[in-house]
Amino acid sequence: MGSHLLLSYSEGVHLMKWLLRGTWRRISSSIARMEGKLFVVFLFLIILPIGVLSYISAERYTDSIERNTVTYVSQVSDLMISKLDDYMEDMKKISIIPSYLAEIKAGLKESNRIYESLSIESTDEQLDPTTGRAATLSNEQLELLRRVEGSIYFLNNIKNGANTVYLFDRYGHSYFATKSGGVRSDLKSVYQDWRNLAYDAAGYPVLVSTQQVSGSTSGSRYVFTIVREIIDTNYESLGLIAVDANIVVIENIVKDLDKATHGTTLIVDNNGQVVYDSEKKFIGQNMKSNDKLQALGEEGSLHTKVDGKPVLSIYKQSSNTGWKIYITIPEQKLMGEALRIRAFTLVSAISIIGFALLISLIFTFTLTKPLRSLVRMMKVVQTGNLDVTFPVRSRDEMGLVGNAFNRMIIRVKSLVEDVYMAGQRKKEAELEALQNQINPHFIYNTLESIRMTAVMNDDVEVSDMTQLLGKLLRYGMGTGTETVALSRELEHLDMYMQLLNYRYGNRFVLGISNVTDMNLPVMKLLFQPIVENAVYHGMDESKSSMTINLSYEEEGMDHLFTIKDDGVGMSDANLKHLRQRLNEPKDSHVNNGRGIGLRNVHERLKLLFGEGYGIRIMSKQGVGTEVTVRLPKEKTKGERLIG
């Protein structure tokens, strides 16, 4: 075979070391990457799920607290608004009672008649300084007015709470029954405002927002008032009624809510006047200039800041009074429990993550420990020491790798021995070839002597035949690689055909078609054995000549050469037998001389280019034989063309 198929012992050992070094580098880098990848995988599998779950749980819990708080406070505010609305309705009902009580109407009519007949305008000089009434009233008139005041006692006690009822005749003279808070000191100054509001409402109740007042027997207090004009059945105006309600009424309703929410409550009427404030900072002030409050709708919630601290504000408006309730809850109070749970969840998550990462590190290093041991053995093998064995302790994947490594070491040892033996055989073959070079030179010199004798005897035909035979022998026995240019192979074939025609009297015709690239590399002595087989086994004695045609074509990544003759051909049985002999082992049968050249070409093609290449024989008796040679387009590594 060609010299490129043989390796020296040193080359084989160097190749084995190179393969092992590359394998070790790939495995060691894979281990480093494996440890890193495993750790990254565990990192993401642990941190992401636990972290995301903890974050989502904390956020959902916080949102749940906020939603529940908003829902609870909204429900409580609805109840509070309902209570306030009911209380206002009761006060409005109290304010309409005088229009139906005969004693009150009679007293107010008498008061109007007295002051009208006396032509008295309500001045301090015309009133008794002790009773606040006209000094000239008769006993009968005084008795009637005392009955009016008695009815006021009744009105004061209809509704439980700190209420005070004031009655006024058309001239502004007041009638009241003193309660624990005493009569408000600004009664005369606010009368005119009440009168305008009541008369403009034409009998409908008017709600006056919270005011700060001081009593005759106590300090200041906050009250809100219902005023209404008192109208008789004949639509005659008798005066007006004012019902003061202490702000403590609202405070009693709100304080339980503030206690539960740890927040504050602000109630503002539809004119922007503060009706109630838990902190007593804004009662009586006007909030109409506050754009944030004015921009809010009828109900809802929002996050904002008060004095730089985040708060949750929930607001709702009464459809009856128009009052809007703002409940402000500090987020620190609202989220206190949520923050504690979030901190506990965070600490738990960090602890679990740390423990899981520790376990993953231990698992990673335990998993890669056998691989690191294998790498150390690979380093030993890299130095040339093949006497190592990986200890297989389990039947898992690592055990399979260890078994494969041990088998590889055994195989490497075997290959090194094979390479050594091949090197020895190569040396022996080279020595034998040097010894056999004497015989070709002797034959060449002898043929040249015969040719010169024929020339001296003027025998041109013998001279030419001798020269052709010498060239054929030089071509066949010449040293070099297995591959030559197509032009050289065709030149050799042409010389062979000339010799045949000298012998058989020009009975053979060689045709070449579709061959364009004469530099195409082909195997040496490719066509001559095939043509020789066609001549000696296919020549038809009944024909005067025999035509042999060589054609070329490409098929995919292969070259195809077809040698076709018009000889006697073969029967199906002989063709089948010949095909079987082409693929049988070399020494499995006794050669009878037929097909030896074809078999030689077929085996050399397979050895040189691989099992997928060789020759294919087609034949039909009486028609001829066709032999197709398949070669790869890619040349074998290390080949060179003979010039």
Q: Residue 130's pLDDT band (boundaries 50, 70, 90)?
A: very low
More confident residue, 55 or 448: 55
pLDDT for position 122: 44
Lowest mean pLDDT among 286-300, 405-419, 599-613: 286-300
Q: Name the more confident of 271 and 4.
A: 271
pLDDT above 60 (res 107):
yes
State the SS3 of 548-614: EEEEEEEECCEEEEEEEECCCCCCHHHHHHHHHHHCCCCCCCCCCCCCHHHHHHHHHHHHHHCCCCE
Tokens of 496: 């062979």
d(CA 216, CA 552): 134
Distance CA 348, CA 50 (A): 10
pLDDT of residue 618 exceeding 90: yes
Cα distances (angstroms) measured from residue 40 to each of 31, 44, 224, 233, 237: 14, 6, 70, 92, 90
Q: What's the token pair of residue 458? A: 């003027």
pLDDT tens digits for range 419-440: 777 777 666 655 555 545 445 5
Structure confidence at residue 218 as a pLDDT band (50, 70, 90): low
Average per-residue pLDDT for the chain: 75
DSSP H helical ranges for 171-240: 187-201
Tell me the pLDDT band of 121, cut-offs 50, 70 and 90.
Answer: very low
Looking at residue 222, its pLDDT comes to: 83
- Of the listed ranges 11-25, 32-46, 237-251, 338-352, the least confidently predicted one is 11-25
Res 18: pLDDT: 53
More confident residue, 441 or 197: 197
Predicted pLDDT at 127? 44
pLDDT of residue 35: 65
Question: Which contacts of 616-619 are long-range, i.e. CB under 8 A and separated by 24 or more positions?
Answer: 617/575, 617/578, 617/579, 617/582, 619/569, 619/570, 619/575
From the centroid of its chain, how far is CA 86?
58
Q: Report whether pLDDT(578) > 80.
A: yes
Which of these, 473, 477, 432, lies nearest to 451 by C-alpha position?
A: 473
Label residue 136 by pLDDT band (50, 70, 90): low
Residue 281 vs residue 530, higher pLDDT: 530
CB 432 within 8 A of CB 406: no
Q: Is the CB of residue 166 less than 8 Å from the CB of residue 110?
A: no
What's 162's DSSP letter?
A: S
pLDDT class of 551 with cuts at 50, 70, 90: very high
Q: Is the pLDDT of residue 563 over 90?
A: yes
What does the alpha-carbon distance between residue 184 and residue 202 come to, in Å, rounded to a whole number? 25
Name the burial class of residue 616, with classes exposed (0-12), middle (13-18) and buried (19+) by CB atoms within 10 angstroms of its CB: middle
Q: Give the number of other CB atoms < 10 A from CB of residue 527.
A: 24
The pLDDT of residue 447 is 67
Look-up: residue for tokens 């698992």?
A: 363
Provide the pLDDT confidence category of residue 562 given band limits of 50, 70 and 90.
very high
Check residue 585 and give its pLDDT: 63
pLDDT(33) > 80: no
Mean pLDDT, range 43-57, rounded to an integer: 75
pLDDT digits (tens, 9 = 90+) for 321-367: 778 888 888 877 666 666 677 777 778 878 887 787 788 777 777 77
Indicate the residue type of 258.
D
- Report the alpha-carbon distance of residue 602 to residue 465 in Å, rounded: 29
Question: Where is mean pLDDT largest: 5-14, 218-227, 386-395?
Answer: 218-227
Confidence at residue 628, expressed as pLDDT on a 0 to 100 scale: 94
What does the H/E/C string look like for 5-69?
HCCCHHHHHHHHHHHHHHHHHHHHHHHHHHHHHHHHHHHHHHHHHHHHHHHHHHHHHHHHHHHHH
The answer to whether residue 88 scores a pLDDT higher than 70 is yes
Closest CA to 473 of 490, 495, 457: 495
Give 520's DSSP letter.
Answer: -
pLDDT at 32: 52
In the chain, the amino acid numbered 290 is N
HSE toward the beta carbon, residue 419, CA cutoff 13 A: 16
Angle formed at CA 608 by CA 603 and CA 613, multiple of 5 degrees: 65
What pLDDT, on the 0 to 100 scale, is given for residue 224? 83
Q: What is the pLDDT of residue 379?
A: 79
Strand order through the sheet with 614-620: 508-513, 546-555, 558-565, 624-632, 614-620
Closest CA to 117 of 87, 138, 86: 138
Q: What average pLDDT does this structure show over 487-512?
A: 86
Q: What pLDDT does residue 464 have? A: 74
Which pLDDT band, with edges at 50, 70 and 90, does 140 fall under?
low
Torsion of CA 205, 210, 213, 218, to 10 degrees: 100
Check residues 361 and 588 and name the one with the higher pLDDT. Answer: 361
The pair of structure tokens assigned to 166 is 């004031």
Q: For the chain, what percent of residues have pLDDT higher than 70?
A: 75
Task: Give me the residue label for tokens 């020549």.
Answer: 539
- How many percent of the chain have pLDDT more than 90? 5
Tell me the two tokens of residue 182: 């005493």
d(CA 510, CA 531): 10
State the Cα–Cα distance between residues 283 and 210, nearest whole angstrom. 7
Q: How confident is the model at residue 630 (pLDDT cuts 50, 70, 90)?
A: very high
Report pLDDT for 132. Answer: 45
Q: Alpha-carbon distance 131 to 129, whole Å?
A: 6
Using DSSP, state whether 381 is helix, strand or coil: helix
- Rounded to 10°, the helix 9-96/336-382 angle is 180
24-33, 100-109, 602-611: the lowest-pLDDT one:
24-33
636 pLDDT band, cuts 50/70/90, is: very low
Count CA atoms closer than 13 A to 125's CA, side-chain side.
2
Contact assessment for residue 65 and residue 337, using Cβ atoms and an 8 Å cutoff: yes
The residue among 535, 511, 541 whose CA lies nearest residue 625 is: 535
Question: What is the pLDDT at residue 616?
Answer: 92
More confident residue, 394 or 442: 394
Res. 473: pLDDT tops 60: yes
Summarised one tens digit per residue, pLDDT across range 295-329 is: 677 777 777 777 777 877 788 888 787 788 888 88
pLDDT reported for residue 8: 45
Structure tokens at 80: 């509070």
